[in-house]
Structure 1
Amino acid sequence: MQAETLDRATLEAAAKFEVFDGGGNKVTFGSLFAEQKTVVVFIRHFFCGSCKMYVEDLAQVPAAALAAAGTRIVLIGCGDWAAIQAYHEMTGYAGAIYADPTRALYTHLGLVDNLKNTLNSIKTGYLAYPALTFKAGKVSQNGGDFVLGPGVRCAFVHRMQNTEDHVEVVDLMKAAGVDYAP
């Protein structure tokens, strides 16, 4: 597990970026972790098959374990906010999801842009939601996993180096202080 964190200046600047909620409303990134420790998972794009499986695993973390640790999970995708509802439907994930369609936050946080390993996203979303084909996000954008807050604090960073490189859910929960064993 990586012990990397973000320096305060980088996180303070990132906190000012805006993301969109599922209704198209802008919120600052910093508001997502201002009051509570938050696991922020940047998915690749809203139709990524690998991220879909990862999010389905995240959804298995018991709400009681998160509550006991004073932690919540937030997802951010690099596509248009219009794809958020479809992503809820595809993954069964009921938690908060936001969109960074410009990928400015992804870039600021140093998240890698490449297509190493796989392109298994076609049947996951593109065929099921063809109207959202150009709203899912850039297919070469990789994501990452962060433990942030409360306030301008970073306890953990993992940047994906390829398309299947999210940190294991159990390790991410451990970094967040969440008691979880699948």
Structure 2
Amino acid sequence: MADEKDVVTDPNEEGILKTVDDLKMSRTEEPEYTVDFEKLRDKIVYDGMGNKIKFGDIYKMQKTIIVFVRHLLDFVTKDYVEDLGMIPLEYLQASDVRLVAIGPAPYKFINDFKKETGFNYTFYCDPERELYKELQLGQDLEPTDVSKSKHVKQNSLMGVLRGMWKIMRVQEWQGDVKQQGGAFIIGPGEVVHYTHIDRNQIDHAPINDLLKKAGVQQVSFPKDPRVQDL
């Protein structure tokens, strides 16, 4: 059974592939949630060079973990993406899974953010947040305790101070500070295997949960150590 925040639609568990029209996922105590590919597939994201990519092309040929993050000056986003970057490429390749992150900032910030976080996988931006809005990713700011996250290594005070320093340095926001993220496992084609909608700043899906749902070997992170098979 899926937990109260996550829903799984997978041919191995359901026995059949659901069509786009039938694909509806519910979360406890929340309204019915629907992924409407008709409205999503032609939405545009941008790579670090400003090239346009249709959202539907991201997951067309391969099962893909797609993580929507918060603004790029957010210390929680930085720490989370750093851990995403620790996933060994061979783990993904062994399961024929692709990893993609999407941020709500202008594309000109992508390359510096990838360098800062050591994230060497695909990163796109949705500066107008069209996908965020269509996927109903939240815009509520709630008090959070970063110590409960399996991926945030910084404390709140230092993280906020570093973020403020960056804002003063670049003198430009790198995404809407209220925008929350989410995570999806989609593909190949318009088949959803997993969805997680972030409720607040640290309600990101634990990365090992994403890997498990995608059929990828799990990873030991600084705050989420795992015993690996030798």
TM-score by length of 1: 0.91
The alignment status of 1:149 with 2:187, answered yes or no, reads yes
SS at the partner of 2:7?
coil
Give the count of matched residue pairs: 181
Contact 1:126 1:133 in 2 (8 A): no
Alpha-carbon distance between aligned partners in 2 of 1:103 and 1:137, rounded to the nearest angstrom: 9
The alignment status of 1:130 with 2:169, answered yes or no, reads yes
The alignment status of 1:98 with 2:136, answered yes or no, reads no
Tell me which of 139, 148, 151 is aligned to 2:177. 139
Q: CA deviation at 1:130?
A: 2.7
The two structures, once aligned, show a CA RMSD in angstroms of 2.1
Q: Relative to 1, partners in 2 of residues 1:32 and 1:126: Cα closer, same or farther, differing over 3 Å?
A: farther
Amino-acid identity (%): 35
Extract unaligned runs of 5+ from structure 2.
10-22, 25-33, 145-155, 221-230
Tell me which of 212, 216, 221 is aligned to 1:174. 212
Alpha-carbon distance between aligned partners in 2 of 1:176 and 1:82, rounded to the nearest angstrom: 30
Q: Relative to 1, partners in 2 of residues 1:173 and 1:35: Cα closer, same or farther, differing over 3 Å?
A: same
SS at the partner of 1:3?
strand
Q: CA deviation at 1:101?
A: 0.6
Q: Relative to 1, partners in 2 of residues 1:83 and 1:132: Cα closer, same or farther, differing over 3 Å?
A: farther
Greater RCO, 1 or 2 (C-alpha within 8 Å, sep 6+): 1
The alignment status of 1:164 with 2:199, answered yes or no, reads no
Aligned residue identity for 1:131: V
Q: Relative to 1, partners in 2 of residues 1:18 and 1:129: Cα closer, same or farther, differing over 3 Å?
A: farther
Q: Relative to 1, partners in 2 of residues 1:58 and 1:14: Cα closer, same or farther, differing over 3 Å?
A: same
| Structure 1 ranges of 4+ moved more than 6 A | none
Q: CA deviation at 1:180?
A: 1.2
Q: CA deviation at 1:127?
A: 1.8
Alpha-carbon distance between aligned partners in 1 of 2:191 and 2:164, rounded to the nearest angstrom: 34
Tell me which of 73, 86, 94 is aligned to 2:99. 73
Tell me which of 24, 32, 43 is aligned to 2:69. 43
The alignment status of 1:3 with 2:29, answered yes or no, reads no
Aligned to 2:27: none
More off after superposition, 105-114 vs 2-11: 2-11
Extract unaligned runs of 5+ from structure 1.
none
TM-score by length of 2: 0.73
Aligned residue identity for 1:106: Y
